Structure 1
Amino acid sequence: MFIGRQEELAALLAAARRTRMVAIDGMAGVGKTALAVHAAHLLTPEFPDGQLYLDLRGFKPGRVPVEPAEALRLLLAALGVEPGRIPGGEAERAALWRAELAARRAIVLLDNAADAAHVRGLLPGAGHSLVVITSRRRMVELDQVQPISQDVLSEGDATELFAKVLGPWRT
């Protein structure tokens, strides 16, 4: 269920049509992932070669963040690259990732990034794919990434969301 966020959604959709990388930042629980997933669904017709999602676990308590080399392995596998073709080294994986992505129009959602270093090697080179990053930190260190900051819902939107979640059980 997606409520509110019309300004942020419009900004994300507009950015997706003029740039290849967008980063949504905001505090925990503010709805960054919901916004990114909702926008990705709306943009799917423009990116017919795939929609990829990867939780990088940058801020998951008790969970180790996904290392860039492992993230690249997972993303390459999701694109259908045979395991035997996936190189062992991070730099080689990144080069193959960029080559594979350059020939496609895909949306890649990198959710819950710890910081810019966590996603730097996962960003596309040439091509027409879109990468959407979510993080609690603003990705100012990344060149050519359009930032979108997200705050808490307005009181009206929060009330509407709460009422819809409660459904018929509310009194």
Structure 2
Amino acid sequence: MTVPDLVGSVAGTAEQLLTLRGLKVDRAADKTCTTTPVGSVSAQQPPVGTEVAPGATVKLSVVDPAVEAPASVGEPANHAADDLSACGFQIQVIKQHNGDYSAGDIFQSDLVALNGAATRNSTVTLHVSDGPEPSWWHRAWSGLSGLWSNIVANVIYDAIKTAGKWVLEKSRK
């Protein structure tokens, strides 16, 4: 008896075909990233065209709605987002300050809480570091613009220049 090509078939239909041919079925859930639709056969063993005895077992991998995907913590967000998109996930990115991770790296993901298993086509939230929290000086300075930043820069310059002159005069006495 020759094993038919079942990859891409709906699992129930594939099982019926094998049973009608006098073969047994061993079904396993496929939780890997694949483009094969949920409920369809993604792999089979033995392969197509193999001659088997009546009553032999054909193993079918059937795409499960759940997928085991990497949690991606510590990885660059752009790489992880590409990988997760290829698995059929929608990606939501939330950027936050986090000094423990480099800017652009993931420091938290929904997949960590789910132990890497999520439903295909669901949304995965990636919390991405945009670096450490800026200092008060950086935040204050970046809030100034145009004329105001020039005025503040000149005031600071004049203060440093005046303080320098004062220190120089004191050191000469």
Shorter-chain TM-score range: under 0.3
> Which structure has the bigger radius of gyration?
2
- Bigger proportion of residues as helix: 1
Structure 1 length normalisation: TM-score?
A: 0.19
- Bigger proportion of residues as strand: 2
